[in-house]
Amino acid sequence: MYQATSLAELGSVALGRWEARAAKKPERDVRRHLNDALGRYREALEMTPPNAVGQLAVIHNQLGGVYREAGDLDRVLHHCREAIRLEEAQGNLYGAAVTRYNVAIALMEASRLVDARQYADAALRDYQTYGAGAADKVQKTLALIADIAKAATA
């Protein structure tokens, strides 16, 4: 379990380095970091025992993020749906909301606006169960819903 956690952390470091694309790094360097993140998260997933539900949810969510950056929506949806399932299985609606919000963004970017709205609405419902503690997330999700509605009328 410790190795899997360490690998997932290394995946996060590599994903952070991938964001160096904003610093106008050479494309080969940027892709190398994204592929490194993907490899580390996959290794972590393989090493994580099935009863470590929380850790598996996090890894699946991170894999969804990597695939989003790579432009592979099918894999984004696969990993994010698994993350949501695992978060709900442990009663973590906040974690499920975070993932649903991320899926809504990916779907909006892919111009799948009806699906994006459904995920955003579900994220909003989940966040609202946390009351004032998630007020900022509720506002952010409402802004996303407004962006989706705007894109739908454009």
Q: Which residue has the tokens 């993932």?
A: 99
State the CATH class of domain 2-153: mainly alpha
Q: Measure the CA–CA gap between 149 and 94, rounded to whole angstroms.
A: 24
pLDDT the model gives residue 25:
65
Number of helices (H), then strands (E), belonging to the chain: the values are 7, 0
Among 99, 96, 117, which residue's Cα sits nearest to residue 108?
A: 117
Q: What mean pLDDT is predicted for residues 127-141?
A: 96
Weakest mean pLDDT among 4-8, 49-53, 65-69, 104-108: 4-8
The highest-confidence range among 2-6, 35-39, 73-77, by mean pLDDT, is 73-77
Q: Measure the CA–CA gap between 42 and 38, rounded to whole angstroms.
A: 6
C-alpha distance across the termini of the chain, in Å = 48
- Which tens digit of pLDDT belongs to each residue from 58-105? 999 989 988 998 889 999 999 999 999 999 999 999 999 999 999 999
Counting other chains too, the contacts that 128-131 makes at CB distance below 8 Å and 24 or more residues apart are 129/93, 130/93, 130/94
Per-residue pLDDT for 20 more than 80? Answer: no
